[in-house]
Amino acid sequence: MSLSIWESEFDLVVVAGPRLQGWPSVGVRTLSSLSADVGLKVGLFGGQSLQPFGVIPLPGHGGVVIAKDTQNRLHRISGRAVVKVTQDLELPNPFLGWRSPGLIPLDTARRLLNESPVVWAPSTVILGTGNKALRFGSELLEKGTPEVFAIQTYSLKNERQVCAWEVEKRRFEMLGGKIIYANPIRLAQKTSLLWELHIQDSIGNRIIETARVVSAGPFIYEKGIREYPPGALLFEFLHTAPNQKNEDVEGWNSEEERGRWLATKIIKSLVVDLGNSRQELEKQQKKARSRLRLHSLYQEEPFLIHYDKKWVKTQDLSSIKEFEGVPQKKGNSRLLPVIECIEKISCRICEDVCPEDAILIQRIPGRKNKPLSFLKENQCVSCAKCLDVCPSNSISLMKMDQPNGTLGFSFRGKEKIKINDRVQLGNRRGQNLATGRVTHIENEGFKYPVVHIEVPEHLLWEARGMKPSTPDDEIDDEKLMIEHFEKTASQKVEITFEGESRLVREGLSISKALFEIGYARTEDVFMCSDGSCGLCEVNVDGVKKKACQTTTRRGMVLKIREKKLSKENSQNNTAYLCPCLGITREEIIKRIENGNLQSPEAVQTAVHVGEGKCHGLICMGAFRRLLEESEIDTENWIDWRFPWFEWKLFPGPHG
């Protein structure tokens, strides 16, 4: 068989790493458009049409990307500068049972929540307390999950309690979510639908019975841009932006500014004569750096609310009342938004959507939690659009009448609320304060109903959440499962699974179908959009297929691929950092100490972490954290080993 390779050359090559979704993202678009505007030849490679296998660094600077198109033609793409866009899988440090179908990454959990009738009761545990973690937990609670626990696994600076914004923590706790400061030590299966997570906190060991554990992170500070080797114009760019901005405002804004900053750095390196545009370029780079700094200030200047029993302490309540995002005029007898985003966060969605320009967010570095401007009361017409779009659901309406005022909330729960219903009013951490009467409900033009509640005047500044006074009947796990499957019965087709007849929904990926029928494997937890991990092989009608890339259909014969038990599966008393090769943390630490290893490359050469079936997809995050713990600098280090995942130079008839 002859081999033909298509050659191409670019000034800047931007390439999608494994498992990347939403290509090209906002940061990639910003980077490429700014670079193209100054005359650089830019190539974007990824998505459905072209699958990159990896980058080969060149001497000096730049590199070569090897990729394959949909017709199985190989492409050799040279770039004077190369940017690899990666998506952090956010898997935790290894503990017993961490590599099991009971622990899934956040992006898999989101797919299951939005697209599959899986049950999250009696509880769900989330590892991590970032914005994405707590927002997902809040969505679970709004959709009826009885209990959600978020576990913060490492100490934070500046008295911070979680990695997320204060308003995201508030929303999670107001809905009944619980935050635990502990370390997971073991995950064991109790029944087909129930797991036991053993955790260790300051008090001791305890067990949480859970439907599954969701790994969301963050587990360490991640640098958004790396260049390695220094000056080589070989970059790793962290993909954090979702498909829609309101799904993760922080990730979207940060990636956009990183793209802007990186574009200016690459342009200055590749364009010899910038002429008069150099000054403008320097200005853009400085502005991007300043915005990135501003986006992270909430971590350094947290707003912490302290309580005296159920009531906000006087000093903190005064800070809230003095904040420019809340009504300042005393005796105001009309509904006005209360925007308590006191921390310097990057979200401006309420400002973008306001039709009257009544919200203008101007935050000044150096003025701790005190913006220059925020809410313009005279221009507000009480349309409540800011409530409907707030991703943290942290905006409410307030009317300060006597003896009773009014509070308005965007209600995102599954229960039905009616006028004259009595609802529970909760404080900023979910504790019940009193009941209030629903006086009005706005539905037209809103995604979520805006519920107006009559509230005693003394609770107007204390109550910030609501929930129905009459809770649903106690949730029966088996009943929930039956209801879920009855809803999708008409979509199901019959297949043969391991010699037995099964009903599955038609057109699903096999990985997702295995979760729905309770037969998910450890190999199915990633649900890669590009099949890059290569772990989830199954036998479909006698042919090897990837479960994440193959959909269910009527009459298919499905067998789980037979294989020898790995060390991880056969010895449940060991937590492997690199499951593919059976390498433990202790073995790596011992090699570092005995060999006096000082660099990431030296450790990799000695222990071969990341050279197994998944090519580091599972283990490299934990490996980087272990190196940092061992005082080996990884701040700018990038693993450029080729290829990124398994591939065949000459694919067979089924490959």
pLDDT at 554 over 70: yes
Residue type at 283 in one-letter notation: K
Question: What is the Rg, in whole angstroms, of the alpha carbon atoms belonging to the chain?
Answer: 26
**Contacts of 257 by beta carbon, 8 Å cutoff, 6+ apart:** 288, 291, 292, 295
Over residues 404-412, the mean pLDDT reads: 94
User: Measured between alpha carbons, how far is 193 from 518 in angstroms, rounded to an integer?
Assistant: 7
User: Measured between alpha carbons, how far is 587 from 577 in angstroms, rounded to an integer?
Assistant: 10
Phi-psi region of 634 (alpha: psi -120 to 50; beta: other; left: phi over 0): alpha
User: Measured between alpha carbons, how far is 13 from 224 in angstroms, rounded to an integer?
Assistant: 18
β-pair partners for 214? 104, 126
pLDDT of residue 568: 42
Q: Nearest 5°: phi and psi at 360? A: -135, 105
In order, the DSSP letters of 583-599 are EEHHHHHHHHHHHT--S
Judgement on whether residues 66 and 119 belong to the same structural domain of the protein: no
**Contacts of 599 by beta carbon, 8 Å cutoff, 6+ apart:** 632
For residue 520, tell me if it sits in a domain: yes
Judgement on whether residues 11 and 56 belong to the same structural domain of the protein: yes
Over residues 122-134, the mean pLDDT reads: 96
For residue 332, tell me if it sits in a domain: yes
In order, the DSSP letters of 511-580 are HHHHHHTT---GGGSS--SS-TT---EEEETTEEEETTT-B--TT-EEEEPP-PPPHHHH-TT--EEETT
pLDDT of residue 48: 80
In order, the DSSP letters of 53-70 are EEEEEPSSS-EEEEEEET
Judgement on whether residues 290 and 421 belong to the same structural domain of the protein: no
Judgement on whether residues 444 and 520 belong to the same structural domain of the protein: no
Over residues 311-318, the mean pLDDT reads: 96
Block residue for tokens 């699958």: 51
User: Measured between alpha carbons, how far is 114 from 107 in angstroms, rounded to an integer?
Assistant: 11
Block residue for tokens 């959709």: 143
In order, the DSSP letters of 354-389 are -TT--EEEE--TTSTT--SEEE-GGG-----HHHHH
**Contacts of 424 by beta carbon, 8 Å cutoff, 6+ apart:** 432, 435, 466, 467, 468, 469
Do 38 and 271 contact (CB within 8 A), yes or no? Answer: yes
User: Measured between alpha carbons, how far is 386 from 360 in angstroms, rounded to an integer?
Assistant: 12
Tokens encoding 563: 């294989």
Tokens encoding 254: 């940060």
**Residues listed for the chain:** 655
pLDDT of residue 1: 46
Judgement on whether residues 328 and 434 belong to the same structural domain of the protein: yes
Do 198 and 185 contact (CB within 8 A), yes or no? Answer: yes
CATH number of the domain bearing residue 549 = 3.10.20.30
Q: What pLDDT digit, counting tens, does each position of 241-272 carry?
A: 998 898 899 999 999 999 999 999 999 999 98
Do 418 and 166 contact (CB within 8 A), yes or no? Answer: no
As a whole number, the mean pLDDT across the chain is 89
Give the end of a domain, one of 510, 533, 560.
560
Over residues 142-161, the mean pLDDT reads: 87
Q: What pLDDT digit, counting tens, does each position of 363-396 carry?
A: 765 555 566 678 999 999 999 999 999 999 999 9
Among 644, 630, 648, 542, which Cα is nearest to 588's? Answer: 630
Judgement on whether residues 56 and 199 belong to the same structural domain of the protein: no
For residue 582, tell me if it sits in a domain: no
CA end-to-end span of the chain = 15
Judgement on whether residues 389 and 433 belong to the same structural domain of the protein: yes
Confidence band (pLDDT; 50, 70, 90) for 20?
Answer: confident
Out of 7-11, 143-147, 296-300, least confident range: 296-300
Among 142, 158, 140, which Cα is nearest to 150's? Answer: 140
Do 506 and 493 contact (CB within 8 A), yes or no? Answer: yes
Half-sphere exposure of residue 350, counting CA atoms within 13 Å on the CB side? 30
Residue 278's domain spans which residues? 5-88+222-298
pLDDT at 62 over 80: yes
User: Measured between alpha carbons, how far is 302 from 488 in angstroms, rounded to an integer?
Assistant: 45
Q: How many domains does the chain have?
A: 4
Do 438 and 451 contact (CB within 8 A), yes or no? Answer: yes
Among 389, 383, 371, which Cα is nearest to 326's? Answer: 371
Do 81 and 61 contact (CB within 8 A), yes or no? Answer: yes
Task: List Cα–Cα distances, 616 to 18, 84, 604, in angstroms.
Answer: 11, 15, 11
pLDDT at 68 over 60: yes
For residue 329, tell me if it sits in a domain: yes
Residue 413: other Cβ atoms inside 10 A: 16
pTM confidence score? 0.92
Judgement on whether residues 25 and 147 belong to the same structural domain of the protein: no
Over residues 401-414, the mean pLDDT reads: 91
Q: Nearest 5°: phi and psi at 221? A: -65, 130
User: Measured between alpha carbons, how far is 466 from 430 in angstroms, rounded to an integer?
Assistant: 9
For residue 293, tell me if it sits in a domain: yes
Judgement on whether residues 26 and 108 belong to the same structural domain of the protein: no
Give the end of a domain, one of 435, 468, 501.
468
Out of 146-160, 383-397, 547-561, 616-630, least confident range: 146-160
pLDDT at 400 over 70: yes
pLDDT of residue 2: 55
The 8-class DSSP code of residue 12 comes to E
Task: List Cα–Cα distances, 44 to 17, 47, 67, 497, in angstroms.
Answer: 12, 9, 12, 41
The 8-class DSSP code of residue 162 comes to -
What SS3 class is residue 234? strand
For residue 528, tell me if it sits in a domain: yes
In order, the DSSP letters of 173-210 are HHTT-EEEE-EEEEEEEEETTEEEEEEE-SS-EEEEEE
Over residues 420-443, the mean pLDDT reads: 95
Q: Which residue has the higher pLDDT, 72 or 455?
A: 455
Give the end of a domain, one of 530, 560, 590.
560
Q: What pLDDT digit, counting tens, does each position of 584-627 carry?
A: 999 999 999 999 999 999 999 999 999 988 888 899 999 999 99
Judgement on whether residues 317 and 437 belong to the same structural domain of the protein: yes
Q: What pLDDT digit, counting tens, does each position of 450-506 carry?
A: 999 999 999 999 999 999 976 554 445 555 555 555 555 567 899 999 999 999 999
Tokens encoding 286: 């400085």
Over residues 535-564, the mean pLDDT reads: 86
Judgement on whether residues 199 and 230 belong to the same structural domain of the protein: no
What SS3 class is residue 440? strand
Among 118, 81, 88, which Cα is nearest to 21's? Answer: 88
β-pair partners for 33? none
pLDDT of residue 35: 97
Judgement on whether residues 79 and 228 belong to the same structural domain of the protein: yes
CA atoms 111, 113, 115, 116: torsion sign: positive
Across 66-75, 424-433, 478-487, which has the greatest mean pLDDT?
Answer: 424-433
Q: Nearest 5°: phi and psi at 129? A: -135, 30
For residue 95, tell me if it sits in a domain: no
For residue 480, tell me if it sits in a domain: no
Q: Which residue has the higher pLDDT, 315 or 333?
A: 315
The 8-class DSSP code of residue 653 comes to T
Do 427 and 312 contact (CB within 8 A), yes or no? Answer: yes
CATH number of the domain bearing residue 31 = 3.50.50.60
β-pair partners for 126? 150, 214
Confidence band (pLDDT; 50, 70, 90) for 202?
Answer: confident
Among 585, 596, 599, 591, which Cα is nearest to 634's? Answer: 599
Phi-psi region of 190 (alpha: psi -120 to 50; beta: other; left: phi over 0): alpha
Tokens encoding 8: 């191409």
User: Measured between alpha carbons, how far is 131 from 295 in angstroms, rounded to an integer?
Assistant: 13
